[in-house]
Structure 1
Amino acid sequence: MLYFPETQSYTFSMPVLPTPDYLPPLPFRNADLATLYPPLFRTSPSLPIPGRERIETPDNDFLLIDRHRSRTGISRKLAVISHGLEGHSRKKYVLGMARMATGLGYDAACWCQRSCGGEVNRLVRSYHSGETNDLHTVISHCLSSDRYDEVVLIGFSMGGNQILKYLGEAPDRVPQQVAAAVTFSVPCDLAATERVIARPSRRIYFEYFMRGLREKIRIKAKLFPNEVDATQLNGIHSLLDFDDRYTAPVNGFRDGTDYYKKSSSRQFLPFIRIPTLLVNAQDDPFLAPECFPEHEAQTNSNLFFEMPKYGGHVGFVSNDENNVYWSESRAQAFLGNL
């Protein structure tokens, strides 16, 4: 069963969903304000302090997971929540979604990509937009207790790209307990997204990402002086420059272009087998037209694509006295009607 706003009624056969009636407060109809306000000024959603778990990966590295328990009692359902580029498990948007999930009766596992949880990972490689083995490791670990009968995946931006790629690149590998997915603000064509972020008008976003990425490279250069050269940070003016010099070589890609081509999730969307909601705002300042996969949604009955007029990038501010954002309400509606 699908969710539609109660004020509208539709009949159609393909899962490109109608434009929702989401209308944020007037200041947040500006895409940049909608994007920048939440990380800077949103009150952090209130949740009990989570239990943190450290798990080993098959390649002798580690991942960190924050575990939030269902607020409705002992649960056999789990939401695995994946953050975006240079995020972590305690970002406000992650906590807001964890609050939604635990209120809906799920336990929540909010995991940190390698080196994003306050500890530098052991290997020269870190994380990247096409990394799906770590997501699989988190899911498999959480299922190893035999506690959960149902798992849903929720991801933002880069984390959303990883989820969509994971579901479509090798569907037979996805555990049968994984029942649905919800993703927001997904750069499903990485090359096109990089070209947008390279524009002078997007410089503030580029510098925001590079602040953390530069620091990670400097730390890795000290740990692996024969493999990482921090002086190559000089002259980096785009994410493609960074990915050419660092992301690609340590992760087995020929160059940044090869990395973008192989890691973009759009090519894997036709092969997704479980109900999956992809929400990309029309005003997202990161996304190019190539990141709006209407054709793929029209040809895969499991992919539900929605394009609200507003929202920015991982924004979706609402005028809600309980600090609930529209993305959280939307995910709740989709998951609550499975």
Structure 2
Amino acid sequence: MYTRGKGEGCLIVGVYVDDLIITRGNADVVGRFKKQMLSTFRMSDLGLPSYYLGLEVTQGDHGIALRQSAYATKILEKAGLAGCNASATPMEMNLKLLKEGSTPSVDATEYRSLIGSLRYLCNSRLDLAYAVGYLSKFMEAPRQEHLAAVKRVLRYVAGTVHSGVHYHPGGKKGAMPRLLGYSDSDLAGDVNDRKSTSGLIFFLAGGPIAWQSAKQKVVALSSCEAEYIATARAACKAVWLARLLAELIGGAVLAPKLNVDDKSTIALMRNPMHHDRSKHIDVKFHFIRECCDRKLIDVEFVGTELQLCDILTKALGRVRFQELRGDIGMKNLV
């Protein structure tokens, strides 16, 4: 990302290899920049983006929508599942798979190809992040039950080909933007090594801009510790996003708000009296205490029923999954 100028004259350029996306606060600024670039380089002006790196972009008075419908269709055709019966969820509720399964092995190259394609689809489909991340653990020696679970994900994709995320127009002019985040974790959800899964989501302009579902590097000894590690990861992301946003807009931003559904985790990061009980937790995870002390993030409690990150830490039932899918901003964008 590159910036030039401030305020209404600010120019922001996103570069990926030889593809550029330009945005601004003033149309004249973009016009001058294009003339400068055309006079120096041989390039094409494609106008408003409609397709970029596999992302389909739709812009209008009601905001910006991103989806990967064409890419999802290609994945289904490659897997031989075009026109298949759709599934309501990407993964069976509470599904637990072992690395050393009892079923025969399958073609590892095919399995890895499908997982790789689905991982790229997650760039606009955060409802797939947990399932794809979970099934990525079996790429070394996949078996029939692992491939069956991947095909379940593909059948879910078949029923939600046109799903994507939508971003609303900017809020009140002059108001400082604020990131809203959620952090959550399961406890020892991986039956192979008993490590937990962390999930995080950050929202801006009414839509998700960053999300992650990832297995933790260490084994947590309690739900509080698992949540604490997940929150520390989310705090790092929050600080980085806030600094990036401040640099892009050329002004101050409010401290990100991070919602956590575990009161003991919040107490551990705020109350020094509890610190002697957490010496076994790696020092790097205590970074969140400094963030709270310096007011870099604002951590608040949110009830479990309002914890949007549940969709990134475990396989849910149909009703809960579809409820959270709507809450995190996933929409049918036909």
Q: TM-score if structure 2 supplies the norm length?
A: 0.23
Q: Say which one has the larger Rg.
A: 2
Give the TM-score normalised by the residue count of structure 1: 0.23
- The structure with higher relative contact order (CA 8 Å, sep 6+) is 1
Structure (1/2) with the larger strand percentage: 2
